[in-house]
Amino acid sequence: MPRRPHDLHGAAPDESRTALLLIDVINDLDFPGGDRLLAHALPMAHRIRALKQRCRDAGIPAVYVNDNFGRWQSNFHRQIEHCLEEGVRGREIAALLRPGEDDYFVLKPKHSGFYGTTLEILLESLGAQTLLLTGMAGNICVLFTANDAYMRDYRLLVPSDCVASETEEDNGHALRQMQRFLKADITPSDELDLERLPA
């Protein structure tokens, strides 16, 4: 049954049955294990950037789903500015994946992008039924978001080269879990045929 969009009185200007989610990519990585995650996340960021451009060309909107880092006064633009400062561990990733003016964002208080956020209402307003999940960490926030998306009957694509965790073992395990139990397509991003996704 098609989802019935909320009347948002000025709803999302885009309409697309597919949405690209970038999970926690604006991140200073200032935590234990941040160096290990950076080693895997930087190559990932280059691939997400290329995928995001292809999605933009195909009319697929991008939604940044970002942690509020425990600060309930969080301002996403302030977070971007912080992550772009000299000496910040996640600076290069933030520079590669800096949001554009037409991108959407949702701040989350916990691991899942759906928990305590407006993400579901936004996706319904867009008319999205298929989600492309990218970001970090693959075995934590991407996995938790994928679980909640699956329970909401979204079709999931999790390009295996566009998620990163602190170790390749953890990342591979999370991808296998999403593929097996959440029916996620984990085809690498450069092999995805975006033209075949529902627009």
Percent of the residues in the chain that have a pLDDT greater than 70, as a whole number: 91
Q: What is the pLDDT of residue 195?
A: 87
> What's residue 98's pLDDT?
97
More confident residue, 198 or 87: 87
Q: What is the mean pLDDT of residues 191-195?
A: 93
pLDDT at 199 over 80: no
pLDDT in tens, 110-163: 999 999 999 999 999 999 999 999 999 999 999 999 999 999 999 999 999 999
Tell me how far apart the terminal alpha carbons of the chain are, to the nearest angstrom: 17
Distance CA(88)–CA(15), nearest Å, equals 36
Question: Band of the pLDDT at 1, cuts 50, 70, 90?
Answer: very low
pLDDT at position 8: 52
Range of lowest pLDDT (68-82, 93-107, 156-170): 68-82
pLDDT score for 118: 94
Which DSSP helix (H) or strand (E) runs through 105? strand 104-108
Whole-number Å distance between alpha carbons of 160 and 65: 18
Quick one: pLDDT at residue 68?
81
pLDDT of 2: 47
**Mean pLDDT across the chain:** 92
Handedness of CA 94, 100, 101, 105 (dihedral sign): negative
For residue 13, the model assigns a pLDDT of 77
The CA–CA distances, whole Å, from 79 to 66, 68, 76, 106, 145 equal 10, 9, 5, 13, 21
Residue that has been written with the tokens 């984990």 in this structure? 186
Query: How deeply is 150 buried, as exposed, middle or buried, from its count of CB atoms within 10 A (0-12, 13-18, 19+)?
Result: middle
